[in-house]
Structure 1
Amino acid sequence: MNDLGSKAYYHLPGLFEFYELYRVFLPLFREHRAYFYDWCEIGSIYGAPADCIWGGGRAGFGDQSAKEVLALLREYGISARLTFSNSLLQKEHLRDPKCNALCALFEAGSGVQNGIIVHSELLLEYLKARYPGFYFVSSTTKVLTEFAQLRRELEREEFRFVVPDFRLNKAFDQLKGLPQAQKDKVEFLCNECCWPGCKDRKLCYETVSRKNLGEACPEHVCTAPDAQEGYRFSKAMQSPAFIGTEEICRTYLPMGFSHFKIEGRGLGSALILEFLLYYMTKPEYQLQVREAIYLDSMLDLF
C-alpha cells in the first residue's frame, strides 16, 4: 500500500482507560508483527486518570494504577502521554498533589521520553520549569480551525507536536506548503465523529474542563444532526474530515506527514479494538487478532 518506505506513527487512546486491552494487544503487536502493516508504528498511548483535575478532552474515565501503566509502556518502549488539556486552570490548581505526583513518576520515563498534551498556557509554563524532561503536545481542544492559527502554533518551539482541529485535515493546498520541520509536528485527528459544522466544540471541551475541576455545571447538549446516536465509527468514516488507511498511505505520507491521532478515550474497549484492527491490522489477520483478544479470559470488553 505504501511504496515510499515512510512510517505512520499512531497515537492511541486510553493510557489509563484501556490498560487491560493494551496489556493483551501489545504482545500481539510485538510477537506477531506480520499481522500488522509494516508501514505503521505506535508513536504513543495517551490518557489521564479519571479524577485528575488537570485532565481535559474527556472526563470520568481511567482508573488503572499509574505504576502499572508506566511499567507496561516501559516494557514495550512506547511513549506515554498525560492528557493534561484542561483549559480553565488557575494558579491554585498547579499545586494539585496527584497531578504533580503523576508528572514526577512519568518524567522518570519508560525507556523513551514521555509527553504531556496541554492546553493551558499557565500549565505549560509551570511544566516547562518544573518537569523539563517531558515533550509537549498542543491539544486539539484549542480548536485551531484557521490555518493561520495552526501555522503560528507550529512555529512555537515548545511544542513537539500540534493537533489541529479536524476540519483542517483536508486543507491540502496549505498543508503541502508547510516546511518539512513543521510537517513533522502536525498530528492529524483521524476518526473524529463530530459534525464538521459544529460551532460549540470549544464550549463542549470547556464543560469537560469544569467537570474535571469538580465544578457543578450543566451538561453540554450537542445540537449536531444525529447527536443522539453517540459515536459511530461508521458515521466517522463518512465525514469529509475522516482520514483512513488509504489516504494515510497515498496522500499524507507522500506529502511528508507521519503522525496520526486516534480518538476514543470515552468509548468502550471493543470499539478501540475496531480502531486497532482497521488502522493497524492487515485484513487477512484481523480475525486472528480479534480472537486472541476476545478469548483472553482476563479481558472484559465492553
Structure 2
Amino acid sequence: MLKKETAYYHLPGLFEFYGLYSEFLPLFREHREYFYDWCDIGSIYGAPADCVWGGGRVGFRENNPKEVLALMKEYGISARLTFSNSLLRTEHLSDKKCNDLCAMFGEKNGIQNGVIIHSDLLLDYLKNKYPEFYFVSSTTKVLTDFEQLKNEINRDDFLYVVPDFRLNKELDKLNRLSEKQKDKVEFLCNECCWFGCTDRKKCYETVSRKNLGEKFKEYRCVAPDAESGYKFSKAMTNPGFIGIDDIKNIYMPMGFSNFKIEGRSLGSALILEFLLYYMTKPEYQIHVRERIYLDNMLDLF
C-alpha cells in the first residue's frame, strides 16, 4: 500500500462562512509557506438556509450563491452541496431553490462539484438531471457496522463515503481495505458527539424534519454534557478524534487521504481555530490571525 503524500481537507461552511473563506483563501494561496506542505483543500461543503433537501445541520447564514461559486472557481476548489435530508419524498424533488442551485453548481467549469447525499430517491434524480456532479455518501447514514461501510464504499454511485466517526479507530479493519476502497473513505475528524450515543439518527432526522417544515415533537439530546454544546477541546478527547499527528503518522501511511472537518452550525471563530490547528504551522498561526481579524486596536471585552 502506497503512503499518501497529501491529506485533502473537506471544510465546512460553503455558504455559511463565505466571508471567512474570502479572507482565508487568498492567504492560503499567497503565503503557502504558512501552511503544512502535506495538506490541501479538497472541497468546501454546505447549503443555504432553508433548503428542503438539506439534512446535515440547519444553516444560519446565507450568501449569494453566484458569489460563492465565483470564489470556488477563482481558487479551483470543489464546492459540495449538502443535500443529506433522509426523509425526502417524491414531491420534494421539484423544489425550485434546490434545483436552481444544482443547475448553477452543476455546470462544467473546470472543477467538478459534488453533492453530499443520504436519500437514494434524490440520488437517482440528481444522477439523471445533473450528471456533472460527483456524490458523497453522507455521515448522516450513521454507518457504524463495518460490513455496512464496506458495502457503501463498493457502490459505484459514490466517489466518497463518510463513515460514522465511531469507526475511525477500527484501524485493523480499515487497513485491510483495498487501495481503491481507501481512496473513497473520508473520515469525520472532529466530532464532539458522545461516542456511546445510540440516537444519532434521531438527531439527524430532526434536522431533516425542520428543513421540510414539518411540525413534530423535537428530539432533545440527552447525552452526557450535551448542554455545553460543541467545544473543540471536548472533541479532542473523543475516542474517535483524528488529530494532525494521527493523519500524518497513521492514516496517510495506511493509504488514506480524505478528511472531513465538521462545523457548519458553529461560529466562524471556531472554524478559524480548525483551520489553524489542521492546516497552519504553529509559528505562522499568529500571522493568519492578524490577517483574518487580529489588530492592535481589538478589544475582547
Could you state the TM-score of these two structures normalised by the residue count of structure 1? 0.96
Provide the C-alpha distance between the structure 2 equivalents of 1:244 and 1:267, rounded to a whole number of angstroms: 19
Conserved 8 A contact 1:14-1:62:
no
Matched, 1:20 2:19: yes
Provide the C-alpha distance between the structure 1 equivalents of 2:120 and 2:59, rounded to a whole number of angstroms: 24
How many equivalent residue pairs? 294
Q: Secondary structure at the match of 1:127?
A: helix
Tell me which residue corresponds to 1:209: 208
Provide the C-alpha distance between the structure 2 equivalents of 1:110 and 1:144, rounded to a whole number of angstroms: 33
Tell me which residue corresponds to 1:135: 134
- The Cα of 1:295 is off from its aligned counterpart by 4.3
1:86 partner letter: N
Conserved 8 A contact 1:56-1:208:
yes
- The Cα of 1:217 is off from its aligned counterpart by 2.2
Provide the C-alpha distance between the structure 2 equivalents of 1:29 and 1:218, rounded to a whole number of angstroms: 44
1:79 partner letter: S
Matched, 1:274 2:258: no
1:292 partner letter: R
Provide the C-alpha distance between the structure 1 equivalents of 2:4 and 2:31, rounded to a whole number of angstroms: 20
- The Cα of 1:276 is off from its aligned counterpart by 0.1
Tell me which residue corresponds to 1:93: 92
Provide the C-alpha distance between the structure 1 equivalents of 2:25 and 2:96, rounded to a whole number of angstroms: 31
Tell me which residue corresponds to 1:260: 259
Tell me which residue corresponds to 2:71: 72
Conserved 8 A contact 1:70-1:110:
no
Tell me which residue corresponds to 1:185: 184
- The Cα of 1:134 is off from its aligned counterpart by 0.2
2:48 partner letter: P
Q: Secondary structure at the match of 1:273?
A: helix
1:231 partner letter: Y
Tell me which residue corresponds to 1:288: 287
Deviations 1:47-69, CA, capped at 9 Å, x for gaps: 00101100011114231010000
Q: Secondary structure at the match of 2:140?
A: helix
Conserved 8 A contact 1:79-1:110:
no
Provide the C-alpha distance between the structure 1 equivalents of 2:59 and 2:274, rounded to a whole number of angstroms: 21
Q: Secondary structure at the match of 1:38?
A: coil
Conserved 8 A contact 1:52-1:99:
yes
2:22 partner letter: R
Question: Once the two structures are aligned, what percentage of the paired residues are identical?
Answer: 72
Provide the C-alpha distance between the structure 1 equivalents of 2:243 and 2:112, rounded to a whole number of angstroms: 28
Tell me which residue corresponds to 1:122: 121
- The Cα of 1:291 is off from its aligned counterpart by 1.1
Pairing 1:15-54 to 2, within 5 Å after superposition:
15-54=14-53
Conserved 8 A contact 2:47-2:59:
no
Matched, 1:146 2:145: yes
Provide the C-alpha distance between the structure 1 equivalents of 2:255 and 2:61, rounded to a whole number of angstroms: 34
2:9 partner letter: Y
Conserved 8 A contact 2:65-2:101:
yes
Tell me which residue corresponds to 2:243: 244
Q: Secondary structure at the match of 2:256?
A: coil
Deviations 1:175-211, CA, capped at 9 Å, x for gaps: 0000000000000000000001001000000000000
Deviations 1:231-266, CA, capped at 9 Å, x for gaps: 000000001100000000000000000000000000
